[in-house]
Chains A and B, each alone.
Chain A
Amino acid sequence: MTPITNPSASPVARDGTERSDQRPAGRPEPSAILELSNVHADIDQYHILHGVDLVVPRGQLTVLLGRNGAGKSTTLRTIMGLTRITRGELTFDGRELRGMSTPRIARQGIAFVPEHMGIFSLLTVRENLLLAAIGGSPDPARLDWIFTLFPPLKRFWNQPAGTLSGGQKQMLAISRAVIEPRELLLVDEPTKGLAPAIINDLADAFVQLKAQQVSILLVEQNFHFSRRLGETVAVMSDGRIVHRGSMAALADDEALQHDLLGLGLGEHQ
C-alpha cells in the first residue's frame, strides 16, 4: 500500500474528527443497506483497513473516492469476505456478514465487479451470463433489458469473452452482476482504461440501474464520472474514511476536493 504523503489529504489524522456534510432539513434519511463500523482488515502481515466506518444508503449510489493505496478495493473485498475482517462490524440489511463465506455473502443479494473484471475468458458471453444467473437460465425480460443497455453483448453472444474489447468486457462484467435482481452492487473502478465513449455508455447504464432503486457502492478515480452519478460520497485515506457527505457538496467545494483528494475538479481529466 502506498502511504498518503500529503498531510492535507488526511483531515482525520490532523484533528481526529471525520468530516461530514449535513443533510438538508426536511428530506427523510434513507435507511442504510450496508454499514461498516470500525472495520479492520489485514492482508498477510500488512494492516490495511484501520477502522473503516461507512454507511451505504438504500437505493442510492455511493461513491468511494481516494488515492491509490487508500484501501478502497480492500474495503470492497472485505465486504465480499475475500479479505478477512480482524475487528469491527459489517451488517447488510441488518444481517451480520462478518464470518460468512464469500458465496454466502453473494447469495444475500450482493454482486461484486472487481477491478480486473474477472471475466471468464474461455467461456462465451452466453456462458458467463448463464453462470451468473443463480436460478438456472436468465430471465428473458431481464436479458432483453441487458441487451438494450449493452448491445454488443447480443452481437458477441456465442463468442469467447476473452476476445472482447476492454469496454465490452466491462459491459459483460456489469451485466453478470445485474442479470439477477440484486440489492447491492459493489463496483471497483469500472472506467479504468476505457475510452470516453464507453465511459458514457457505462454512465447511462448506471443511471438506469439507479432508476431501479439498486443500491450501489462505486469505487472510482474518475471524479467527473462519479460526480454525474453519485448521491453520497465517502473519501478514504490511509485505510480510514476521512469524509462522508453529499456528492453535490463535494463537487461544489474545490478547496475540499484539494484537501481530500489533492486535486480539484477543474484539474481532473
Chain B
Amino acid sequence: MNAISSPGARKRSPWQALRGMSADRPHVFLLLLVTLLPLALMPWSTWLVLTLSGMAMGAMLFLMASGMSLTFGLMSVLNLAHGAFISVGAFVGASLLIYGLSEWSHNPSLWINLAAVLPAFALAALVAALLGVVFERLVIRPVYGDHLKQILVTVGGAIVIFQLIEVIWGPREIPVPRPEALRGALVFGGIALEKYRVAAVVLGVGLYALLLWVIERTRLGILIRAGVESREMVEIHGYRIGLLFLAVFAAGSALAGLGGAMWGLYREIITPHMGDELMISVIVVIILGGLGSVRGCFYGAMLVGLVNLYVGYLEPRLAAVATVGLMVAVLMWRPQGLIPVIKV
C-alpha cells in the first residue's frame, strides 16, 4: 500500500461535500433541499403523504412538459398549443373510460380496472400523437425559425383545438370517476397513501426511466441530443432533421395526451381549458429544468410538484406563487436552468 495519499483523496467535510454537490449536481442538491427542509416544519407522517402527492403531481407534470421541452430544444419551436394536446388526451381517455369501458372501470378487480385504464391512456396518447403530426405539418412547419409567428399561430391553433373540444364534448366540466380498485388509500402504520397517486408515481417514474434510456442509450437518442446541439451538423451527417423533429413532436404530443388523461383521473374532473391552466406549470417546469433536457425536465417537474404541495400545506395563500418564486430563485442562481443544454 502506498502510504502517501493524494490531495484529492482527502476526506471532505459535509459542508464541502454539499458545496460540491450544489456545483456539480444542482438538480439533485435542490431536490434534496426542497424535500428535506419541510421535515423540520411538519409531522413526519404529513410530510410522507405530501411528498407522495407532490411526486405524483410531478410525475404527471413531467409527462406533460417533456415533449414541449424537447421540441423547443431540438427545433427552437415555441408550441403554445401544447396545452391543447393535454386537454385532448384528457377527453379522449375519459371518453373511453366513461362510455366504452365503463363496466370494467366499475369492476372491483385491479386487473380488470387496469385493462380499462391502460387502453384509455394508450388511446389518449395515440390521438394526441396523430393530432401532433397534423399540427406540425399544417401549423408549425411554415413558421420554423420565427418565434413571433410561432407564438401567434400556435396560440391560434390552440384556440381552434379548444373550440373543437367544446363542439365535440360540450363546454361544461365532465366528472371522471376513478376505477374502483384505484380509489381509496393504502395504509401503512397509520399513514394513508392514496392508491392512484402511488400508481401515478410508478407510471411517471417508469416512463421517465424509459425516456432516459431512449435518450441516453439508443441511436435515436444520440440523434435527438445531437439535434438539440446543432441541427445543421445533424443534416451534414445525412440525417433528415425534419423527420426526426416530426417523430419527437409526435412523441411529445403523445406524452402530453397521456399526462392529460392521467391528470383527469387525478382530479376526477375535466374541462376543455384544463390544458391551458396547466401550461403555466408546464412552462415553469421546462424553464427550471433547462430547455431541451429530459433529465432537467424530470427534476423541474418534481420540484414544482413538491413545492406546490408543501407550501399549500404550510401557507395556502402562497401556494399559487410558490412555484413561480422557485423558478425566479433558480434562474438567479443558474440562468440557463438546472441542466442546461448548450447550443453550438
A130 touches B219 (CB 8 A): yes
B225 contacts which of A120, A132, A136 (Cβ < 8 Å)? Answer: A120
Please indicate the chain A residues that have their CB under 8 angstroms from the CB of B344 in the complex. Answer: 116, 118-121
Q: Closest B-chain residue to A179, C-beta based? A: B237
15 A–B contact pairs at CB < 8 A? A80-B236, A82-B232, A82-B235, A101-B235, A102-B235, A103-B238, A112-B236, A118-B236, A120-B225, A122-B229, A123-B225, A123-B226, A131-B226, A131-B234, A131-B237
Please indicate the chain B residues that have their CB under 8 angstroms from the CB of A131 in the complex. Answer: 219, 222-223, 226, 234, 237
Q: Closest A-chain residue to B238, C-beta based? A: A106
Interface assignment of A107: CB less than 8 Å from any CB of chain B = yes
Interface assignment of A127: CB less than 8 Å from any CB of chain B = yes
Please indicate the chain A residues that have their CB under 8 angstroms from the CB of B238 in the complex. Answer: 103, 106-107, 134
Please indicate the chain B residues that have their CB under 8 angstroms from the CB of A112 in the complex. Answer: 236
Contact of A102 with B222 at beta-carbon distance under 8 Å, contacts A118-B344, A119-B344 already known: no
Q: Complex: how many Å from CA A130 to CA B237?
A: 11
A-B complex: 9 closest residue pairs judged by Cβ atoms: A106-B238, A118-B233, A102-B235, A107-B238, A120-B226, A103-B240, A127-B222, A103-B238, A120-B229
Please indicate the chain A residues that have their CB under 8 angstroms from the CB of B234 in the complex. Answer: 131
A102 touches B219 (CB 8 A): no
Please indicate the chain B residues that have their CB under 8 angstroms from the CB of A101 in the complex. Answer: 235, 240
Interface assignment of B230: CB less than 8 Å from any CB of chain A = yes
Interface size on B, residues (CB 8 A): 20
Please indicate the chain A residues that have their CB under 8 angstroms from the CB of B28 in the complex. Answer: none
**Cβ of B243 to closest chain A Cβ, rounded Å:** 9
Interface assignment of B213: CB less than 8 Å from any CB of chain A = no
Interface assignment of A114: CB less than 8 Å from any CB of chain B = yes
**Cβ of B75 to closest chain A Cβ, rounded Å:** 15
Interface assignment of B96: CB less than 8 Å from any CB of chain A = no
A106 contacts which of B229, B236, B342 (Cβ < 8 Å)? Answer: B236
Interface assignment of B239: CB less than 8 Å from any CB of chain A = yes
Interface assignment of A176: CB less than 8 Å from any CB of chain B = yes
Interface size on A, residues (CB 8 A): 24
Q: Complex: how many Å from CA A101 to CA B344?
A: 22
Residue of B222, B230, B233 with most partner-chain A CB within 10 A: B233
B237 touches A132 (CB 8 A): yes
**Cβ of A78 to closest chain B Cβ, rounded Å:** 13
Interface assignment of B341: CB less than 8 Å from any CB of chain A = yes
Q: Complex: how many Å from CA A123 to CA B239?
A: 17
B236 touches A102 (CB 8 A): yes
Total A-B Cβ pairs within 8 A: 64
B226 touches A136 (CB 8 A): no
Please indicate the chain A residues that have their CB under 8 angstroms from the CB of B342 in the complex. Answer: 121-122, 162
Q: Complex: how many Å from CA A132 to CA B222?
A: 11
Binary contact track B227-260/A, C-beta < 8 Å → 1, others 0: 0011011111111110000000000000000000
A136 contacts which of B219, B229, B233, B236 (Cβ < 8 Å)? Answer: B219
Please indicate the chain A residues that have their CB under 8 angstroms from the CB of B235 in the complex. Answer: 82, 101-103, 106
Taking A101-B235, A102-B235, A131-B223 as known contacts, 14 extra A-B pairs with beta carbons closer than 8 A to each other, sorted by chain A number, are A82-B235, A82-B236, A101-B240, A103-B240, A103-B241, A106-B235, A106-B237, A120-B230, A121-B229, A122-B225, A123-B229, A131-B222, A131-B237, A134-B237
Residue of A120, A130, A132 with most partner-chain B CB within 10 A: A120
Q: Closest B-chain residue to A80, C-beta based? A: B236
Contact of A103 with B239 at beta-carbon distance under 8 Å, contacts A131-B222, A131-B223 already known: yes
Q: Complex: how many Å from CA A119 to CA B230?
A: 9
Please indicate the chain B residues that have their CB under 8 angstroms from the CB of A134 in the complex. Answer: 237-238
Q: Complex: how many Å from CA A51 to CA B232?
A: 25
Q: Complex: how many Å from CA A120 to CA B228?
A: 9
Q: Complex: how many Å from CA A31 to CA B239?
A: 29
Contact of A120 with B232 at beta-carbon distance under 8 Å, contacts A107-B238, A136-B219 already known: no
Q: Complex: how many Å from CA A131 to CA B219?
A: 7
Q: Closest A-chain residue to B221, C-beta based? A: A127
**Cβ of B335 to closest chain A Cβ, rounded Å:** 18
Binary contact track B92-120/A, C-beta < 8 Å → 1, others 0: 00000000000000000000000000000
Q: Complex: how many Å from CA A106 to CA B341?
A: 26
B222 touches A130 (CB 8 A): yes
* A residues 107-145 in Cβ contact with B at 8 Å: 107, 112, 114, 116, 118-123, 127, 130-132, 134, 136
Q: Closest B-chain residue to A102, C-beta based? A: B235
Please indicate the chain B residues that have their CB under 8 angstroms from the CB of A116 in the complex. Answer: 344
Q: Complex: how many Å from CA A133 to CA B173?
A: 52
Q: Complex: how many Å from CA A34 to CA B175?
A: 67
**Cβ of B338 to closest chain A Cβ, rounded Å:** 15
B222 touches A123 (CB 8 A): yes
Q: Complex: how many Å from CA A102 to CA B238?
A: 7
A118 contacts which of B225, B232, B239, B241 (Cβ < 8 Å)? Answer: B232
A118 touches B230 (CB 8 A): yes
**Cβ of A250 to closest chain B Cβ, rounded Å:** 30
Q: Closest A-chain residue to B229, C-beta based? A: A120
Binary contact track B199-234/A, C-beta < 8 Å → 1, others 0: 000000000000000000001001101100110111
Q: Closest B-chain residue to A119, C-beta based? A: B344
Please indicate the chain A residues that have their CB under 8 angstroms from the CB of B232 in the complex. Answer: 82, 102, 118
**Cβ of B293 to closest chain A Cβ, rounded Å:** 10
